[in-house]
Structure 1
Amino acid sequence: MGNRPRWESWWQTAKSVALALLLAGLVRSFLVQPFWIPSGSMKETLLVGDFLFVNKFAYGWSRFSCPFALCPIEGRLWGAMPERGDIVVFRHPRNGDDYIKRLIGLPGDRVQMRDGLLFLNDRMVARREAGSYREIYAPQGPGGAMPRCRNHPRPGGICLKDRAIETLPNGVSYPVLNLSDLGFADTTTTFTVPPGHVFVMGDNRDNSLDSRYALARGGVGFVPVENLIGRADRVIFSSAGSSLLAVWTWRFDRLFHALH
């Protein structure tokens, strides 16, 4: 009899923990998903070390909404099509990793790059030059990757990229970065987006494996709408260092930073 209160306490604790885990699983599956930016493919919009939550109800739910694609859903539940310019997180069609890119083309759109310029449905996307993007030439994030530059700085020097502002036909504007107009994906064939798919690109054009690379290792190709996990709307916090515990490397100017 004397041990009963202790067992009751343990039982209550176990039920509370189980309920908390269940609620956390439901939230992650159907509402938001944390996402850590591991690479510079979306600079300057997203930086290595940005941490954000993905809005999972923006486009409805598919089997990829659950961890390990375990949701018993065929197609999309309460699905809604994304818009051009959305920053989308999706399950890579081949390697199963979660990627983040900007949505450029919807089903039926024709997408092409010509000498580094983006054409959508045979019209050049509005673009204006906007100077240079500058960052320190130093290791970034837990992987310690060095940024790519159009100049040749020494460690600790200034890394430069050409910068422009693109504006899609629906009015969404965003910065794009460029190293040169002579890269493999700076001039492409015309991609016609098939039904049930979208076309995505990174804002850091010469440092992004995306829909322009259909067959290359790590290339994305067309992304099935079913593979969309959600939309990225806001950076929660950001760290320029190799660990979240290094508070002195946090980018306080990016706390709750809205994405466009």
Structure 2
Amino acid sequence: MHFDFAAILVALTFATGVIWAIDHWFFAKQRAAQTPPGEAPREPVLVEYSRSFFPVILIVLLFRSFLAEPFRIPSGSMMPTLLVGDFILVNKFAYGIRLPVLDKKIIEVGEPERGDVVVFRFPKDPSQDYIKRVIGKPGDEVTYRDKKLYVNGKEMPQATDGLYAGTDTESRELVRRGAESLVEQLDSVSHKIIAVPGDQVGPDFTISVPAGHYFVMGDNRDRSSDSRVWGFVPEQNLVGKAFVIWMSWRGLSNGVIEFSRLGTLIK
């Protein structure tokens, strides 16, 4: 079952705020007048809890809706940039200020650039959040040939970085297959990708990105379900730009917490 956390926060903020306000304006003075001198008025439990939790819930709602939202990486499609168990923060205002729940943009701020790592609502099931890297912007022509990217006819350079040497559980099969680590340059963004000999997601292609949409791919190029499989990401599905790893819970088999990844900026 999918829980819309933003909707829950909005509902709780509204409920606690209304209860507190109604009590303050209509019942608190009457209760104080009926209380014997020297004694503090006794609030109903529901009012006490509403008064205590309203500001906390409101702050969480505002922070999560307009500043930053935490996400957990559930799969290896963005290896080696992001690993399973990484907890990241997403900049919610990088691509515009949106109203919570309604997801209606009210203030234009910026738009994704090639190379940005973005979180978005999966086009085929908006209840799921996905994370990939922006390859093509609206109007771009993207070509993928021999595992190399070309954007508007310009090759995005790749340089070998040796064999992939990840040591976590998800990396073992890649290491066994002789996966290669490459450094790719997407405009001004330099980042690492993984290529697995003999594997490829879909055939080579040339495709034009329609207006209001983005073409995205995972850094684990041969093990990522992305725009090559299910199509473009509509602009209105964007959640924000991933910018930092604040926790990396790798599990008991991988040393529990990988402290070296904490505070790592995502690029």
Give, in angstroms, the shift of residue 197 of structure 1: 0.7
Change (3 A) 1:211 1:242: farther
1:208 to 217, 221, 224: 224
Change (3 A) 1:166 1:124: same
Query: After alignment, is 175-184 or 189-198 more displaced?
Result: 175-184
CA contact (8 A) 1:150 1:179 kept: no
Give, in angstroms, the shift of residue 135 of structure 1: 2.4
> Runs of 4+ in structure 1 displaced over 6 angstroms?
none
What is the aligned length?
A: 230
Residue 161 (structure 1) aligned with residue 179 (structure 2): yes
Q: Paired residue for 2:118?
A: 88
CA contact (8 A) 2:135 2:217 kept: yes
CA contact (8 A) 1:44 1:176 kept: yes
Identity between Structure 1 and Structure 2 (%): 40
Cα RMSD (Å) = 2.5
Whole-angstrom CA distance in 1 between matches of 2:106 and 2:41 = 48
Q: Which runs of 5+ in 2 are unaligned?
A: 1-34
2:93 to 43, 46, 57: 57
Q: Deviations over 1:193-245 (max 9, x none)?
A: 0011111110000111111113xxxxxx11111111100111001011069xx
CA contact (8 A) 1:85 1:104 kept: yes
Change (3 A) 1:93 1:147: farther
Change (3 A) 1:242 1:15: farther
Give, in angstroms, the shift of residue 79 of structure 1: 4.1
Change (3 A) 1:72 1:166: closer
Give, in angstroms, the shift of residue 62 of structure 1: 3.9
Residue 104 (structure 1) aligned with residue 121 (structure 2): no
Change (3 A) 1:165 1:14: same
What secondary structure sits across from 1:213 in the alignment? helix
CA contact (8 A) 1:102 1:200 kept: yes
CA contact (8 A) 1:61 1:77 kept: yes
Higher-Rg structure is: 2
1:132 to 163, 170, 187: 163
What secondary structure sits across from 2:55 in the alignment? helix
Q: Which runs of 5+ in 1 are unaligned?
A: 141-145, 153-159, 215-220
Residue 249 (structure 1) aligned with residue 249 (structure 2): no
CA contact (8 A) 2:164 2:175 kept: no
Change (3 A) 1:151 1:232: same
What secondary structure sits across from 1:149 in the alignment? helix
Q: How does 1:20-59 map to 2 (within 5 A)?
A: 20-59=56-95
Q: Paired residue for 2:14?
A: none
Change (3 A) 1:150 1:52: closer
CA contact (8 A) 2:201 2:223 kept: no
Q: Deviations over 1:16-57 (max 9, x none)?
A: 202211221122111111100001111111111110111000
Change (3 A) 1:231 1:253: same
Using structure 1 for the length normalisation, give the TM-score: 0.80
What secondary structure sits across from 1:16 in the alignment? helix
